[in-house]
Structures are given as C-alpha cells and as structure tokens.
Amino acid sequence: MLHITPIPSRKDNYIWMVSSTDGNQCIIVDPGESRQVMDTLSLHQLTLSAILVTHHHYDHTDGIDALLEHYDVPVYGPAHDNINNLTQPLEQDDNINIKALNLDFEVLFIPGHTLGHIAYYCKQGFVFTGDTLFTGSCGRLFEGTAQQMYDSLSKLAALPDETLIYCGHEYTQGSLAFAQHIEPDNRALLARIQETDRLRKHGIPTVPASLSLEKQTNPFLRCNQQAVIKAAEAFSGKKLTEPWEVFASIRRQKDGF
Ligand SMILES: [Zn+2]
C-alpha cells in the first residue's frame, strides 16, 4: 500500500513524500528545502530512491543539491525549465518507472505558470500538479500565456474524475474565497468552504482534493459555466466568446483579489 505524506515547508508549501508499507524506500516531490525532508526520512527510517520536480521555482527545488550530498539518486524534472542537477529531463508522454516502489508515472506537459512545468500522473489515482492546478484555483501566469494555462488545465481536467490532486501549496481557503466571489450561488462551493474552514481550524491539510470536487467548485475549471462567464464579462467589460478568454479574465481578477 502507498502512503503519500505532506512535509510542510516554508510558509505554505507542501513537499510530498511517497512511500510504501512494504519496504523502506520513498520518493520526494518538489523539495524546496532539505532539512525537513532529511528529518522525515530518518524519523520513518526511509531511504530516498528518486526526486521528482514539477517546475524550476526555488520553493520547489532549493533542497535538491543538499539531498544529493546524502543520496545518489536520479532527479526527474521538466526538460524545458532550467534546473540544476536534473538527471532525467522529461516531456509530454514520457513514462517513468520507480522500481523501488513499483510505481509508474505519466508525464503531462502543462506550461503557463512556468514555460516548462510538468505534472506526474499515476494511474493508481493521483497526480502531482505543482503550481498549475491548485485545490480551489490555479497558479499565476509567471511565464506563459492565458491560453497555454487554459490548455494545461484542460489536460488535467481530462483525467479520471476520482483522481486526487496533490498541489504544491496550502492555498485552499483563500482560493475558495475568490471562487465564492465569482460564484456566490454555487452550493457545492459553500459546502467545500465550510469543510475547508473546519480542517484549517485544526491545522489539517486540505490537499489532496478529488478532480471531481475541483470541477464542481474551482472557477478556473468552470470557464464554460454561465455564472463564471458572467463574472468574467463583468470584470473585463466586454462579451467573451472563448473559454480561454473567460479564464484570462478571472485569472486577472484573482491577481488583484
Ligand atoms: Zn511556482
């Protein structure tokens, strides 16, 4: 059986650790720091088998070099982001096999937040989305265009509904406040806000969330819904005909929210 454990880092980052009940191996996704990772590995008596990276930002990569001083492991990451010490550059449709955990990932190329950003999808029902699809929202457009990001989110939305979304930050509460601003009458959203508030009050992570819940409540996956189109048109002051234009408008609106 697999365990996916969050290692909290910095203000609101999650470094993800995947391990299995039988064996002492694990992989780490997006090590933005090394100290917490080393501590967690020693606490659970685990050995590192591989590092996976979604994009080049420092809060997802700064721990790589220090981990490599202790573990001689492959570092998987996006071919089109510039990352030090990457040993396995990845592109769309690449497959990776982590032998130690008997685990396979498909690579999805999802540019927008950065130009090289990738996701790691496992058919066992989970995906590491980095800073592209967040629980309740999506990442900022630091390098790519709105159309690129819209296409990337559509690619993730095409995964099976029960897929669990593991993203790089604990942003859900703030994200849902914006979602409510866009869709005040969305009932599933109201229920999710209550549940999220309850979890956060007790310091419990709100990640992962199912893709199905995201489709019901995350406005960035709902650019074809009347309420979202209406909010986007009100913000941009004109009629919007393409879903990616709706996306661009609400993304701009969230930048200033
Ligand atoms: Zn980032």
Residue 118's pLDDT is 98
Mean pLDDT of 2-11: 97
Among the options 131, 197, 202, 255, which is catalytic? 131
- Of 71, 78, 67, 63, nearest to 114 by C-alpha is 78
Query: pLDDT by residue (tens digit) across 207-247?
Result: 999 999 999 999 999 999 999 999 999 999 999 999 999 99
Per-residue pLDDT band at 23 (split at 50, 70, 90): confident
Among 57, 151, 161, 202, the one annotated catalytic: 57
Q: Which of 17, 22, 25 is nearest to 1 (CA)?
A: 22
Reported as a pLDDT band with limits 50, 70 and 90, residue 195 is very high
Query: Please, which residues have CB within 8 angstroms of residue 191's CB and are 6 or more apart in sequence?
Result: none
Is 55 one of the annotated active-site residues of the chain? Answer: yes
Active-site residue, 39 included = no
pLDDT of residue 21: 87
Active site residue 56: no
pLDDT of 35: 97
Query: Is the pTM higher than 0.85?
Result: yes
Q: Is the pLDDT of residue 36 over 90?
A: yes
Contact by Cβ (8 Å): 153, 219? no
- Mean pLDDT score across all residues of the chain: 97
Quote the ligand 1 centre to 148 CA distance (angstroms): 16
67-101, pLDDT tens digit by residue? 999 999 999 999 999 999 999 999 999 999 999 99
Q: Catalytic residue at 104?
A: no
Ligand 1 centroid–CA 226 distance in Å is 30
Instruction: Give me ligand 1 centre to Cα 139, in Å.
Output: 7
Q: Of the listed 30, 56, 59, 117, which one is catalytic?
A: 59
Any idea what DSSP says for residue 169?
B
Antiparallel, parallel or unpaired: β 126-130 and 164-167: parallel
Neighbours of ion ligand 1 (CB under 5 A): 57, 131
CA of 22 to the centre of ligand 1 (A): 33
| 3 classed as catalytic | no
C-beta of residue 106 within 8 angstroms of C-beta of residue 121: yes
Question: Which pLDDT tens digit goes with each residue over 131-147?
Answer: 999 999 999 999 999 99
- Residue 72 falls in the annotated catalytic set: no
Q: How far apart are CA 49 and CA 60, in angstroms?
A: 18
- Quote the percentage of the chain above a pLDDT of 70: 100
Q: Residue holding tokens 């990001």?
A: 149
Annotation marks residue 169 as catalytic = yes
Decide: 133 and 92 in contact? Cβ < 8 Å. Answer: no
DSSP, res 115: S
Per-residue pLDDT tens digits for 44-65: 999 999 999 999 999 999 999 9
Q: How many CB atoms lie within 10 A of CB 255?
A: 9
